[in-house]
Structure formats: structure tokens, C-alpha cells
Chains A and B, each alone.
Chain A
Amino acid sequence: MKKTKSNKAWFLVLPVFILVAFSAIVPLMTVVNYSIQDIFGATRYFVGVEWYREILNNSRLQDSLVRQFVFSGSVLLIEVPLGIAVALMMPKAGKWSVVTLLVLALPLLVPLNVVGTIWQIFGRADIGLFGWGLNALGMDYNYAANPMDAWFTVLLMDVWHWTSLIALLCYSGLRAIPDAYYQAASIDRASNWAVFRYIQLPKLKSVLLIGVLLRFMDSFMIYTEPFVLTGGGPGNSTTFLSQALTKMAVGQFDIGPAGAFSIIYFLIILLVSWLFYTAMTHGDSK
């Protein structure tokens, strides 16, 4: 669509700009300020990139960075295909489509700590159906003691919580495809797979972009759910970046290194999001 050129439009955007700038720019500047100084009571020294060097060489943080990437990667690999599959299975119209929409949206509206609580209860061998069931099947399942089980539970919890988001977005994308496309496909006797690959998937691209970006950002920032479920343990096995950072900033009050950590953390998300964005929109310009 052609847009009118007008700088008066700035007046419409100004409230948003002021509101977001208030909460974004000052805190960001504060963090940058911390990250290059050594603050010790009232005395401050300028230390330059010292903290950055320390952070990048910190093996505990490197571990949680790797863990974080594995986690976000697994989340995307499971939730995106599953979400698309669920969207394809949903009824197209009528009463049942509203009912399914409502049920799918339900996990999204559960507060993050309650999600943790639900799975904390559900996964326990003594009082939870899931933990009890797995143990009854002969598996030695205990998310509080076994790192593999803890990982599995955190992942399952995230799939439970967020796959619906992808499914709802894809559902909306699928509804936007005109019937004529399907009619043409059936005249050509296209297989189900061909319909999916050449009609549905391309149309889903823009909603998938939003879905993938949101899921990447949020899974990369995950804090509350594993904190409630496992407290980052057993050991450090489910300590992701946000929790490592909070420990450093609030627990040990190392605000210099924590500031440097924050900046690096933010830049990683920015870079990966940009890569996703460019990769997924690249085809459009061709």
C-alpha cells in the first residue's frame, strides 16, 4: 500500500515514544554505566572492558549460555512443527472451532509461576499424576534429583505452555487462505503434502515469523518457570541465563559484571532475532 509522506505523523507516535523511552533508555544507560565501572560504595573506578573480559571467560556462564541455546533450539524444533500440526487439525468453522480456540488459549493465560507450580505438582511421584504414572510404568523418574528428568520436565512444561501460541497464530494464517486455492489444488489432484508445501506453508510465513521470533525471545529469557520447578537444579543443570544473571546481580550484588553480562545477553538476543528476521524475509525480496 502506498503511504503518504508526512512528518506530522510523529505527533501520533510521540506518546508511544515517550512512554517506552522512559522505561527503556534510562535503565539501559544505567546498565551500560555499571558495566564499565567498578562501584564500591561511593568510589567508582572506570574499568573499561574489564568486566566484559571477565564475563566472557567465566566458564559457569559459558555453560549456561550453551544450555540456553540448546533449550531455545529444542523449544523451537518441537513447538513450531507441533503448533503447525495442531493448527491443521483444528476445525475450520462453527461452534467447535470457538471451543478449541478457547481451550488452546487456556495455558497461555496461566501466570508463569503457576505454570511452574502446576508441573511441580503434576510431576511429583507421590502426589502428581504424571510423575506417578511414569514411575508406575517402571521408569525411575524424579525431576528434583536427576538432571535428564529435570530437563525433560522443563521442556515438556514449555511445550505445554506455549505450543498453543504457534497453533493460534498458524490457525489465523490458515484462515486467510481463500477457498479458491484449495479448489484449484483439488482440480490438479494435488496430494495433501503438496497442498501443505506449496499453498499453506508459504501463506503461513508471516505469522510464523511472529511466532518464531516471540518464542525465541521468550524462551531465551525464561526465568520463572524453571525457577519454581527446579530452582535451577539439580546442580546447575537447569540454570538458564536469566537466572544466572539474577543470581549475580541480586544475590551476590556484583553489579559491574552483571551489567556487562546484561549487555552481552541483550546483544545476543538482538543478533539472533535479526538473523531469524533476515533469513525468513529474505525470500520476499527475490
Chain B
Amino acid sequence: MNKKKTLGLSVYIIFLLLPIYWLLMMSFKSNSEILGGLSFWPDTFTFDNYMTIFTDPTWYTGYLNSIYYVALNMIITLTVALPAAYAFSRYNFMGDKHLFFWLLTNRMSPPAVFLLPFFQLYSSVGLFDTHIGVALAHCLFNVPLAVWILEGFMSGVPREIDETAYIDGYTFPKFFAKIFLPLIRSGIGVTAFFIFMFSWVELLLARTLTSVDAKPIAAVMTRTVSASGIDWGVLAAAGVLTILPGVVVIWFVRNHVAKGFALGRV
């Protein structure tokens, strides 16, 4: 039974990793080698594709822009979602159920629906082509999700802890920051992971709301297609570099995520 499990899992993991491996190998090949035939390992290792990206400001600012607005989005989302999730998990208040449902409906609205009005609204208030603009737009789907996940984690913390802290003379902000947040650290790790993921992978809104100054890497990548065909090597290298920040994030939050997932309260 156990051998079967390991085998099944291995097959699945190979299925997951093979396309990524293929992309990685391609990024180290020259274009003539890529088009010359299939090989599992580059004949001549070349870093030319990466050099192209690291020496051209239009390329690497794309990465910086994406990282910048994703980080902003994570900060904004967690700042507003933490107190709100606390309110939903601890209190009954006027319209709470309706509000919660309304928040979730925003997760359900296709970005394609809002493209044009978003463009007009953000242009009219001067947020067009700014990092904060993209970060705010991504809050539309990330905040509801963050509230939803955090609320689950917070409900797992017994109320008695709150009450004891208040009796001991803690004020709400002090209790929240010093006692409550450390208790749900893993939950915050899991939430941060999801916020990062959905903001990092999103392209449609990010592309519509930017033109030059805050252009995300995903939009820059279309540059590899030119009249002379697609520059496969640079495209592959750019793709590999978009995966790296995700790997870094997940490496840092790995223990929290593993613990958070193990708590079973996602």
C-alpha cells in the first residue's frame, strides 16, 4: 500500500516538474540549439539569455515593478483584513452576514468585466500607471479571500484568551499585536502565501492599469515576439525568472505554511 502511494505521488510530481524542467533547460540554450532538435541537457551552456534580461532596463524594471506592487498589495491586504477578520470571528454586528457575502461576491467578479470602468476610474483619480494603483486593484480579489481564510484561523483561537487579556488590563491594540497575532502566526503565513500567489500571477488588470512606469514583467514578456519570430531562449529565461520570486517566498514561509496547513484551518 505504501509503495503504491509513493509511486503514485512520484508520477504526479514528475508530471508537475517536467514542464518546468523543460523551460529551465531551454533558458540555457541558444536559439539555434533550441530549434535544432530535442535534448534533455544543453550541449553548450549559455547565460546569454539571462544577460540580455539583466542588462536591459526595460526587462529588469518589469520584475521590480511586479515585486513592488505585489509587496504593497500584501501589506495593504493584511493591514485591513486582520482587524476585519477578527471582527467577523468575534462579534455579531449589524449586517455582518450580508457584508461577508458581499465581500465574497467580489472574488467572483471576472476581471474582464471591470477592465474598462477600472481604467476610467483609476485614470480619473490619478492612479493609472502607478504601483499603488495596481496594488489597490488587486485588493478587490485578495482582501475578501484574506478575510475568509483568516477568519477560519481566528475562530480556532478560544475566546477565553481575549477575555483573560482584557481582565489583565490589555487594551485592544496591545492585545491584538502582542498576544493575538503571534497565536495565529501560521495562519498569517498561509494567508500571505495566497495573497502573494494571486497578486503575482494576475496579468489582465495589471496590464490594463499600467503603461510605462509600473508595467509588470508579464506584459514586458510580449517583447520577445518580433517580426523575425519568437526569441525562445529569452522567453524561457524570462519565464524562469518569474518563477524564482515565488520559490523564494515559499522557502521563507515553508514552516508556517506547513504548520498552517497542518492545523487544517484553511
Using a CB–CB cutoff of 8 Å, the interface residues on chain A facing chain B are 1-10, 12-13, 15-17, 19-20, 22-24, 26-28, 30-31, 34, 85-86, 88-90, 97-98, 100-115, 117-119, 121-122, 126-130, 132, 160, 164, 168-169, 171-177, 192, 207, 210, 217, 220-221, 223-224, 241-243, 245-246, 249-250, 255, 258, 262, 265-266, 269-270, 273
Q: How far is the CA of A102 from the CA of B76 in the complex (A)?
A: 26
14 A-B pairs with CB atoms under 8 Å apart are A12-B87, A16-B147, A23-B137, A88-B5, A97-B258, A115-B201, A127-B232, A172-B266, A174-B264, A242-B112, A250-B116, A258-B116, A269-B109, A270-B108
Q: How far is the CA of A109 from the CA of B243 in the complex (A)?
A: 7
Question: Which residue of the partner chain, among B105, B200, B263, contacts A111 with CB atoms under 8 Å?
Answer: B200
Closest partner residue, chain A, to B193 (CB atom): A105
Q: How far is the CA of A130 from the CA of B15 in the complex (A)?
A: 11
Q: How far is the CB of A51 from chain B (nearest CB, A)?
A: 14
Asked if A101 meets B254 with Cβ closer than 8 Å, knowing A172-B263, A175-B262, the reply is yes
* CB–CB A109/B110 < 8 A: no
What is the total of A-B residue contacts with beta carbons within 8 Å?
A: 278
Question: Which residue of the partner chain, among B26, B87, B201, contacts A13 with CB atoms under 8 Å?
Answer: B87
| Surface stretch bound by A, among B43-51, B53-61, B90-98, B177-185 | B90-98
Asked if A242 meets B261 with Cβ closer than 8 Å, knowing A6-B92, A16-B143, A112-B201, the reply is no
Q: How far is the CA of A135 from the CA of B99 in the complex (A)?
A: 53
Closest partner residue, chain A, to B82 (CB atom): A12
Q: How far is the CA of A9 from the CA of B86 in the complex (A)?
A: 9
* CB–CB B99/A160 < 8 A: no
* CB–CB A106/B246 < 8 A: yes
B114 at interface, CB cutoff 8 A: yes
* CB–CB A103/B17 < 8 A: yes
Q: How far is the CA of A255 from the CA of B20 in the complex (A)?
A: 39
Q: How far is the CB of A225 from chain B (nearest CB, A)?
A: 10
Question: Which residue of the partner chain, among B90, B111, B239, contacts A4 with CB atoms under 8 Å?
Answer: B90
User: Which residues between 187 and 220 of chain B lie within 8 Å of chain A, taking CB atoms?
Assistant: 193, 196-197, 200-204, 217-218
Q: How far is the CB of B131 from chain A (nearest CB, A)?
A: 15
* CB–CB A119/B19 < 8 A: yes
Q: Mark B108-148, 1 if CB is under 8 A from A, else 0.
A: 11111111111011000000000000001101100110011
User: Which residues between 61 and 80 of chain B lie within 8 Å of chain A, taking CB atoms?
Assistant: 76, 79-80
Question: Which residue of the partner chain, among A31, A118, A119, A160, contacts B114 with CB atoms under 8 Å?
Answer: A31
B38 at interface, CB cutoff 8 A: yes
Q: How far is the CA of A221 from the CA of B91 in the complex (A)?
A: 34
Using a CB–CB cutoff of 8 Å, the interface residues on chain B facing chain A are 1, 5-6, 8-9, 12-13, 15-20, 22-23, 26, 34-35, 38, 76, 79-81, 83-84, 86-94, 96, 99, 103, 105-118, 120-121, 136-137, 139-140, 143-144, 147-148, 155, 159, 193, 196-197, 200-204, 217-218, 221, 232, 235-236, 239, 242-243, 246-247, 249-251, 254-255, 257-258, 260-266
* CB–CB B109/A175 < 8 A: no
Closest partner residue, chain B, to A203 (CB atom): B264
A residues within 8 A CB of B242? 110-111, 114
* CB–CB A169/B243 < 8 A: no
Q: How far is the CB of B143 from chain A (nearest CB, A)?
A: 6
A residues within 8 A CB of B117? 26-28, 30-31, 34
B residues within 8 A CB of A177? 264
Q: How far is the CA of A169 from the CA of B262 in the complex (A)?
A: 10
* CB–CB B147/A104 < 8 A: no
Asked if A117 meets B261 with Cβ closer than 8 Å, knowing A1-B155, A106-B247, the reply is no
Asked if A246 meets B236 with Cβ closer than 8 Å, knowing A15-B83, A106-B20, the reply is no
A residues within 8 A CB of B265? 172, 176
Q: How far is the CA of A112 from the CA of B137 in the complex (A)?
A: 17
Q: How far is the CA of A126 from the CA of B190 in the complex (A)?
A: 40
* CB–CB B264/A176 < 8 A: yes
Q: How far is the CA of A27 from the CA of B106 in the complex (A)?
A: 12
* CB–CB B112/A3 < 8 A: no
* CB–CB A109/B197 < 8 A: yes
* CB–CB A10/B94 < 8 A: yes
B residues within 8 A CB of A129? 18, 22, 38
Q: How far is the CA of A198 from the CA of B263 in the complex (A)?
A: 21
* CB–CB B243/A114 < 8 A: yes
Q: How far is the CB of B101 from chain A (nearest CB, A)?
A: 9
B residues within 8 A CB of A31? 113-114, 116-117
* CB–CB B250/A121 < 8 A: no
Asked if A100 meets B112 with Cβ closer than 8 Å, knowing A5-B92, A13-B88, the reply is no
B residues within 8 A CB of A223? 110-112, 204
* CB–CB B87/A9 < 8 A: yes
* CB–CB B203/A112 < 8 A: yes
B residues within 8 A CB of A114? 218, 221, 239, 242-243
* CB–CB B5/A89 < 8 A: yes
* CB–CB B9/A90 < 8 A: yes
